[in-house]
Structure 1
Amino acid sequence: MADWGPVVVATVLFVLLTPGLLFQLPAQGRIVAFGSMHTGGLAILVHAVIYFALITIFLIAIGVHIYAG
C-alpha cells in the first residue's frame, strides 16, 4: 500500500501558504494583506519558514498517514 499522507499534506500546505494567494505576511506597508496577489522576498522567506514548521509538525510529530490501495 502506498502512503499518500506526505504528498497530500505537502500539496495542501504549498497551495495554502503561497504568498499573496490567501494572505501575505509581511505585506508591503502592512503586517498582513489578504488576497493581494503580490509578493516580495521577505514574504517568501517567512512563508517558507512557516511551511517548513507545519510540514515538520504534521509529518514527523503527528505522523499523518493516508493509505490507498
Structure 2
Amino acid sequence: MADWGPVFVAVVLFILLTPGLLVQIPGRNRVVEFGNFQTSGVSILVHSVIYFALICIFLLAVGVHMYLG
C-alpha cells in the first residue's frame, strides 16, 4: 500500500500558496493582496518559506498518512 499523504499535502499546499493566485504576501501596494495574479521575487521567497514550514509541520510533526487501494 502506498502512502499518499505527503503527495496530497504537497499538492494542496502548492496550489494554496502559489503567489498571486489566492493571496500574495507582500503585495505590490499593500502587505497582503488577494487574487491579483501578479508576483515578485520577495513574494516568491516569502511563500516558499511558508510552504516549507507548513509541509514540515504536516509531514513531520503531525504525520499525515493516507493509504489508498
Q: TM-score, normalised by structure 1?
A: 0.98
One-letter amino acid matched to 1:29: N
Distance in 2 separating the partners of 1:41 and 1:16: 18
| CA-atom RMSD in angstroms | 0.4
Distance in 2 separating the partners of 1:21 and 1:62: 27
Q: Which consecutive segments of 4 or more residues in structure 1 shift more than 2 A?
A: none
Unaligned runs of 5+ in 2: none
What is the match of residue 19 of structure 1? 19
Unaligned runs of 5+ in 1: none
1:15-57 deviation digits (Å, cap 9, x = unpaired) = 0000000000000021000000000000000000000000000
Distance in 1 separating the partners of 2:46 and 2:57: 17
What is the match of residue 44 of structure 2? 44
Amino-acid identity (%): 68
How many residues of Structure 1 are paired with residues of Structure 2 in the alignment?
Answer: 69
Alignment partner of 2:28: what SS?
coil
One-letter amino acid matched to 1:16: L
What is the match of residue 28 of structure 2? 28
Q: TM-score, normalised by structure 2?
A: 0.98
